[in-house]
Amino acid sequence: MSTDTFFAHETAVVDKGCIIGTGTKIWHFSHIMSDCKIGERCNIGQNVVVSPQVVLGNNVKVQNNVSIYTGVICEDDVFLGPSMVFTNIINPRSAIIRRDSYQETLVKEGASVGANATIVCGNALGRFCLIGAGAVVTKEVPDYALIVGNPGRQIGWVSEYGHRLEFDADHRGAVCPESGQEYKLDDKAVVRIK
């Protein structure tokens, strides 16, 4: 399916009632369900499911084999790695219908989630954080945090370009080696200053 505003591969299923932004591409065997909102210039990989009421901002990259369940909101410039997993009910049971118990998961601007990571519902992922491949996130993630392991634990900080930040001796300053952007660590929070 090709429209004047977005592209969907002929094997993709796009239900009625979706809002899909200009320049978005939806690839093989993906299913975009009704009442979701996908921003401009997004790339939805192969075998992706976007459930009802999901919101994806602009320039969101969703790699192959990702299911984005009701309750997930991704802000602009989010990266979702191959086969990463969202949940939306904290205590699922096959015999009990809990559609009114979906919990919200907010993925903030510029966050990246690595391949095969799992994000337990009800948590927010901070701006420009980096969730390592295979990590299991069970709690809130600060802006610029680097999270690895199961359960996920913070092992450092990253820049907006995804490079590990090395703070000086008094933890006041760090520079991204690629962009030259400057950061400070203040009260266990990183802020970009330049």
| Domain residue ranges in the chain | 1-91+102-158, 161-193
Please write the tens of the pLDDT for every residue from 87-137.
Answer: 999 999 999 999 899 999 999 999 999 999 999 999 999 999 999 999 999
Which of 160, 149, 154, 152 is CA-nearest to residue 183? 160
Whether the predicted pLDDT of 65 surpasses 70: yes
> 0.85 cut: is pTM over it?
yes
Architecture of domain 1-91+102-158: 3 Solenoid (2.160)
Instruction: List the single range of 1-15, 73-87, 119-133 with lowest mean pLDDT.
Output: 1-15
Whether the pLDDT of residue 25 is over 70: the answer is yes
Neighbour order of strands in the sheet with 13-14: 13-14, 31-32, 49-50, 67-68, 85-86, 118-119, 136-137
Beta strands (DSSP E) in 13-104 are 13-14, 19-20, 25-26, 31-32, 37-38, 43-44, 49-50, 55-56, 61-62, 67-68, 72-74, 79-80, 85-86
* Beta partners for residue 85, in sequence order: 67, 118
Task: Write down the pLDDT at residue 2.
Answer: 53
Query: Residue 187's pLDDT is what?
Result: 80
